[in-house]
């Protein structure tokens, strides 16, 4: 599913206005990685498809991005420590995509010859569609942007040093979630997943859950989310480890108690004619607008960290987990006989 950055321009004066879906999609993928050397030029090709019946004009801009624990934040180009924004050459700032057609846009990436620090550098290409007509009676302007990431691995590509820094159990409206904070102290961005194995008091493995693959950038903490709703409520000893494409694996062990969700509250109907005061509970959501939903600011934490791990806050607002199909996790429950602990 194409990830989009949804930007609201001006002030929202009316509610209930339907969102207008974008007409242009990136059909070649939203992540591009290339390996090159100082003084060399790499090349990235982005395929953009028009799903409408009319020609669409797309505007391209370059930005830095920070991909961390709370989502992706786009910034002005050239300010990040490992920015590749200044290396990217756009053939044009605007492109016309024919109706029901696809246009390939080729970008050149010129790596400086005098680059000293090898490793990974990154930037984003933002594709913006023309805004749809504003609806009558509304002062909201919808703008659709698609963010295409470009990650450049330079020279010997540096090293990846991914470690699990901490863990927190949080509540969400889809059930409890175990959040692993994973950092990269190296110089190379690396992709991989996190696996968590749950062992009961009898020492037998009760379940194993593997997260979706994610990229862990140098100097940035990334969160791997492990849904717990399919694991029976009980205290567990947990063994967590990462499996990365280039760097060594890392592991951590801690204790966690999964508690059953509270039963739904019973609401009695008030007597006829009674005035009901409405209240609104604020929440936190992922900065990647349009993905997920809000989570209450206060969430419980029943996780006990091992002494060797970084202690995570007991109360924390965490972006919500996407549906299972998007998250890509694999749950492997074990039968009654279980398995011996390793």
> Domain of 222: which CATH number?
2.60.40.10
User: Which H or E element spans position 327?
Assistant: helix 324-327
Q: Tens digits of per-residue pLDDT, 71-99?
A: 778 889 988 889 999 999 999 999 999 99
In 10 A of CB 206, how many CB atoms?
A: 18
Are 42 and 64 part of one and the same domain?
Answer: yes
Task: Give the angle 83-153-217 at the CA atoms, nearest 5°.
Answer: 60
Parallel, antiparallel, or unpaired: how do β-strands 31-36 and 141-154 relate?
Answer: parallel
For residue 5, the Cα-to-chain-centroid distance in whole angstroms is 12
Q: Tens digits of per-residue pLDDT, 301-334?
A: 223 333 333 323 222 233 333 333 333 344 343 4
Are 55 and 26 part of one and the same domain?
Answer: yes
In 10 A of CB 208, how many CB atoms?
A: 17
Are 206 and 321 part of one and the same domain?
Answer: yes
CB 56 within 8 A of CB 25: no
CB 280 within 8 A of CB 291: no
Q: Tens digits of per-residue pLDDT, 162-210?
A: 999 999 988 888 888 999 999 999 999 999 999 999 999 999 999 999 9
Model confidence at 65: pLDDT above 80: yes
The answer to the question of residue 173 being in a domain is: yes
Rounded mean pLDDT of the chain? 74
The answer to the question of residue 286 being in a domain is: no
> Which residue, 2, 44, 46, 43, is CA-closest to 22?
2
- Please give the structure tokens belonging to residue 299: 């969430």
CB 210 within 8 A of CB 307: no
- Name the residue range of residue 74's domain: 4-154
* pLDDT band with cut points at 50, 70 and 90 for residue 22: low
The reported pTM is: 0.66
SS3 category, 239: strand
* pLDDT band with cut points at 50, 70 and 90 for residue 23: confident
Are 242 and 311 part of one and the same domain?
Answer: yes
Q: Tens digits of per-residue pLDDT, 230-284?
A: 999 999 999 999 999 988 889 999 999 988 766 665 545 545 443 333 333 323 3
Are 228 and 80 part of one and the same domain?
Answer: no
């Amino acid at each position: 599913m194409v990830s989009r950055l949804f930007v609201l321009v001006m002030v929202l004066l009316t509610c209930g206005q339907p969102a207008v879906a974008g007409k242009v999609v990136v059909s070649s993928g939203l992540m591009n990685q290339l390996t090159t050397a100082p003084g060399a030029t790499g090349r990235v090709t982005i395929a953009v498809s028009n799903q409408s019946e009319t020609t669409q004009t797309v505007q391209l801009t370059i930005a830095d991005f920070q991909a961390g624990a709370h989502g992706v934040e786009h910034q002005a180009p050239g300010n990040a420590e490992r920015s590749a924004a200044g290396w990217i050459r756009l053939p044009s700032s605007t492109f016309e995509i024919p109706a029901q057609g696809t246009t390939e846009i080729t970008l050149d990436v010129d790596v400086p010859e005098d680059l000293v620090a090898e490793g990974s550098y990154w930037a984003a290409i933002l594709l913006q569609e023309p805004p749809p007509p504003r609806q009558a009676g509304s002062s909201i302007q919808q703008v659709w942007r698609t963010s295409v990431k470009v990650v450049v691995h330079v020279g010997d590509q540096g090293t990846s040093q991914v470690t699990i820094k901490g863990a927190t159990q949080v509540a969400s409206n889809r059930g409890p979630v175990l959040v692993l904070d994973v950092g990269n102290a190296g110089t190379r961005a690396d992709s991989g997943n996190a696996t968590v194995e749950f062992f009961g008091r009898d020492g037998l493995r009760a379940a194993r859950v593997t997260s979706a693959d994610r990229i862990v950038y140098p100097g940035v903490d990334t969160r791997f989310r492990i849904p717990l709703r399919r694991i029976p409520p009980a205290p567990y000893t947990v063994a967590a480890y990462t499996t990365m494409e280039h760097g060594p694996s890392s592991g951590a062990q801690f204790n966690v108690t999964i508690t059953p969700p509270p039963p739904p509250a019973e609401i009695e109907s008030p007597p006829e004619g009674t005035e009901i005061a409405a209240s609104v509970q604020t929440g936190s959501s992922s900065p990647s607008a349009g993905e997920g939903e809000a989570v209450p600011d206060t969430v419980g934490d029943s996780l006990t960290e091992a002494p060797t791990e970084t202690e995570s806050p007991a109360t924390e607002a965490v972006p919500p987990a996407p549906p299972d199909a998007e998250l890509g996790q694999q749950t492997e429950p074990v039968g009654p006989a279980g398995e011996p602990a390793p």
